[in-house]
């Protein structure tokens, strides 16, 4: 019997190898872009005489005409040289390559191989009096005309796209744009660096992300190719919490940057302009998003640690200032740029149960460009707002964002660490208090990291819930799903014994503890042939959204004011949009704290210039959060009825 069984298994194995070999033989050959495209490099002149490096990949098949698909970037259009192929970085996916476009990459002025002066977040000039008045809109206009005139085989239509900084360049390029630009997709675009994008959130400096970025992104002479190898920054530790705490203040960090490769003025101006002054206002693109002729598909990720605010602000600005524009929004369960080059099935331990990025690329992005650049009607109309609902893990399609049918409600803080939709009934002042010590700040993750892990946007918050300097409120176990959509505003009636304070609010989804038991039942005994089981999610406290407000900016981001010790004030902490369903059996949790380090810089809790704060300026303070009928702290939200 054993011999027969062994012979049978051998036969199965040989059959399997034969089938595999047949599959390999019948498998279509891998798509090789070099066989289908020819690369050219140009120095494209723009109106002030500067020349911008531009790489162009033209289909070899000249039997038909093709639209342009263009990326403009400060990060380089390499590899440089007509014999070196970089086309895959210019196409959102392989289907675009197969469909056939003339792919264009341009170094923006002053970066890498383009001439001119690079200015971060180039200020838009709505009135151009001479050829010296240039901005991203004019540079793109001139470049598009040059391409139309000189690149044969084009169909006279241009599409623009880009992620992150190139997303900003996409937005800036469609203002008063060249008429040939028919479609644009700003993806994770920076809209306003001070108001919620990379630099500041609620007036608090996004420390770890910015310092880490500017260890590598530095001024350069232009035109010059990027270095073959970037200098590695010497952190001296593997723990970012320790690194930033030891350096004390922001000015010490500018000096630390200068030790490795010289001063970086890009970082220096970030901390010098620590209020919403003309420096930031001139760089905000949203006030200028008018007269948009191209169809626009703005894309963002619910878990984008860098530019979650930008896509939403861009979509809303175009809707308000250019209402005739074909203006659409996509928000998926993604990290920064997570819809390009990854399947989008999960983030950390949170599963989305489907290849969300691939779905978007195939069902929305390619049909959008095909429709507007080739007049190919999509199989299904693209919704005004295509948004992924986390929690239930389903795509939703709405005719507006937020959905019009959402109802305004308030989640109130209640006694005993409760969270309730019922307003408080206490008629006498009631509050919860905690002591915030800036010398022992609350970390934003429960493990050591030098950078900002993308996973932090859904990270387990149990490490914070046990700290005495974090207030925790939670609902009863939900008897039915509750879906919260759109922006959230936390209204806090609060006081401090200091003269400044940060107010950090986090919305959290608490998984049922029973998941632990269910996971244990499903576990298999571990052998050499069985992978170890994933850690169970029982009791997991998933961060859904969090943001800070720096107290000195409670009335204005332009004119900071000291807080008056002991005075109770109403503070409004704006949290970015969500589309999340808290499932039956889960709980809703809110945590309130006064530090979030080193995600944001430390507030010394005294009204001094923070960038130069001295050790003695960092003082502990007692914070109070009020929750009674006259001062009812809570979260203003929008709730959708069950689908």
Nearest partner of 345 among 332, 326, 327, judged by Cα: 332
Residues 497, 203, 241: CA angle, nearest 5 degrees = 80
In a domain, 370, yes or no: no
pLDDT in tens, 517-540: 554 555 444 344 334 445 568 999
In a domain, 28, yes or no: no
Answer yes or no: do 440 and 460 share one domain.
Answer: yes
CA 142, CA 47: separation in Å to the nearest integer?
A: 7
Answer yes or no: do 577 and 609 share one domain.
Answer: yes
Q: Tell me the CATH number at 607.
A: 2.60.120.260
Number of Cα atoms under 13 Å in the Cβ half of residue 97 = 19
Answer yes or no: do 416 and 462 share one domain.
Answer: yes
Answer yes or no: do 247 and 268 share one domain.
Answer: yes
Residue 26: predicted pLDDT: 61
Q: Tell me the CATH number at 261.
A: 1.10.3020
Average pLDDT, integer, range 185-195: 98
- 27 pLDDT band, cuts 50/70/90, is low
Answer yes or no: do 478 and 436 share one domain.
Answer: yes
Answer yes or no: do 238 and 90 share one domain.
Answer: no
> Buried b / exposed e across 92-112, counting CB within 10 Å, b at 16+?
bbeebbebbbbbbbbbbbbbb
Answer yes or no: do 460 and 318 share one domain.
Answer: no
Answer yes or no: do 104 and 227 share one domain.
Answer: no
Q: Is residue 10 pLDDT above 50, yes or no?
A: no
Answer yes or no: do 70 and 212 share one domain.
Answer: no
Answer yes or no: do 187 and 248 share one domain.
Answer: no
pLDDT in tens, 425-434: 999 999 999 9
Number of Cα atoms under 13 Å in the Cβ half of residue 327 = 24
Greatest C-alpha distance within the chain: 93
pLDDT in tens, 287-298: 999 999 999 999
Q: Is residue 225 pLDDT above 90, yes or no?
A: no
In a domain, 463, yes or no: yes
In a domain, 371, yes or no: no
Residue 17: predicted pLDDT: 44
In a domain, 102, yes or no: yes
- Which of 259-262's residues contact partners 24+ apart within 8 Å by CB, and which partners? 260/215, 260/231, 260/233, 260/234, 261/218, 261/231, 262/218
Answer yes or no: do 428 and 472 share one domain.
Answer: yes
Phi, psi of 284, deg, nearest 5: -75, 125
Q: Tell me the CATH number at 291.
A: 3.40.50.1820
Answer yes or no: do 60 and 128 share one domain.
Answer: yes
In a domain, 502, yes or no: yes
Contact 106, 112 (CB under 8 A): no
pLDDT in tens, 153-173: 999 999 999 999 999 999 999
Please count the structural domains in the chain. 3
Per the structure, the complete domain to which residue 544 belongs is given by 407-520+533-640
DSSP-derived secondary structure for 590-642: EEEES--BTTBPPP-SSSS-GGG--GGG---EEEEEEEETTEE-EEEEEEEPP
Residue at which a domain ends, from 273, 302, 329: 329
In a domain, 79, yes or no: yes
Residues 77, 137, 362: CA angle, nearest 5 degrees = 60
Phi, psi of 268, deg, nearest 5: -60, -40
Distances (CA, A) of 444 to 29, 80, 488, 548, 595: 47, 40, 20, 12, 9
In a domain, 242, yes or no: yes
pLDDT in tens, 293-326: 999 999 999 999 999 999 999 999 999 999 999 9
């Amino acid at each position: 019997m054993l011999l027969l069984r062994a012979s049978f298994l051998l036969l199965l194995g040989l059959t399997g190898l034969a089938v595999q070999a047949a599959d390999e033989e019948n498998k279509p050959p891998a798509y090789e872009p070099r066989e289908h495209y020819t690369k050219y490099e140009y120095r494209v002149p723009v109106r002030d005489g500067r020349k911008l490096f531009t790489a162009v990949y033209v289909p070899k098949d000249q039997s038909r005409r093709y639209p342009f698909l263009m990326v403009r970037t400060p990060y380089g259009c390499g590899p440089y040289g007509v014999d070196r192929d970089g086309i895959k970085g210019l196409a959102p996916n392989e289907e675009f390559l197969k469909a056939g476009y003339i792919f264009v990459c341009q170094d923006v002025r002053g970066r890498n191989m383009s001439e001119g002066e690079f200015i971060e977040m180039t200020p838009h000039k709505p009135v151009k009096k001479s050829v010296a008045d240039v901005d991203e809109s004019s540079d793109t206009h001139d470049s598009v005309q040059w391409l139309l005139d000189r690149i044969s085989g084009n169909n006279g239509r241009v599409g623009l796209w880009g992620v992150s900084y190139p997303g900003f360049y996409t937005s800036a390029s469609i203002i008063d744009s060249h008429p040939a630009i028919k479609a644009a997709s700003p993806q994770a675009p920076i809209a306003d660096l001070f108001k919620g994008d990379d630099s500041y959130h609620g007036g608090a400096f996004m420390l770890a992300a910015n310092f880490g970025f500017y260890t590598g992104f530095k001024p350069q002479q232009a035109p010059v190719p990027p270095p073959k190898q970037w200098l590695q920054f010497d952190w001296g530790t593997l723990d970012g919490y320790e690194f930033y705490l030891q350096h004390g203040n922001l000015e010490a960090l500018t000096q630390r940057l200068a030790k490795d490769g010289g001063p970086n003025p890009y970082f220096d101006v970030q901390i010098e302009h620590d209020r919403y002054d003309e420096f930031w206002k001139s760089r905000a693109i949203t006030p200028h998003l008018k007269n948009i002729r191209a169809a626009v598909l703005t894309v963002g990720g619910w878990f984008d640690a860098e530019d979650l605010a930008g896509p939403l602000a861009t979509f809303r600005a175009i809707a308000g200032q250019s209402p005739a524009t074909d203006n659409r929004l996509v928000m998926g369960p993604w990290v920064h740029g997570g819809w390009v080059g990854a399947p989008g099935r999960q983030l950390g331990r949170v599963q989305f149960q489907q290849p969300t990025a691939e779905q978007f690329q195939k069902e929305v992005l390619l049909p959008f460009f095909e429709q507007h650049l080739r007049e190919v009607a999509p199989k299904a109309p693209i919704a005004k707002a295509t948004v992924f609902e986390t929690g239930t893990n389903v795509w939703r399609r709405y005719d507006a964002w937020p959905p019009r049918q959402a109802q305004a409600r308030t989640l109130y803080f209640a006694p005993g660490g409760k969270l309730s939709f019922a307003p408080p009934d206490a008629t006498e002042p009631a509050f919860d208090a905690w002591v915030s010590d800036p010398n022992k700040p609350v970390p934003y993750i429960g493990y050591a990291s030098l950078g900002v892990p993308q996973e932090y946007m859904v990270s387990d918050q149990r490490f914070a819930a046990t700290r005495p300097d974090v207030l925790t409120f939670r609902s009863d176990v939900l008897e039915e799903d509750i879906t919260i959509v759109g922006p959230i505003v936390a209204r806090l009636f609060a006081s401090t014994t200091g003269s400044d304070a940060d107010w950090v609010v986090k919305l959290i989804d608490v998984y049922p503890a029973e998941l632990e038991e269910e996971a244990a039942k499903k576990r298999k005994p571990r052998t050499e042939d069985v992978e170890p089981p994933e850690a169970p999610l029982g009791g997991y406290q998933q961060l859904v959204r969090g943001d800070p407000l720096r107290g000195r900016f409670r009335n204005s981001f332009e004119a900071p004011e000291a807080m008056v010790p002991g005075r109770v004030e109403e503070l409004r902490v704006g949290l970015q949009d969500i589309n999340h369903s808290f499932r039956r059996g889960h709980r809703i949790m809110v945590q309130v704290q006064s530090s979030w380090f080193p995600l944001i810089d430390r507030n010394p809790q005294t009204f001094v210039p923070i960038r130069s704060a001295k050790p003695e300026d960092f003082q502990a303070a007692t914070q109070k959060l009020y929750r009674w009928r006259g001062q009812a702290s809570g979260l203003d939200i929008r709730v959708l009825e069950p689908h």
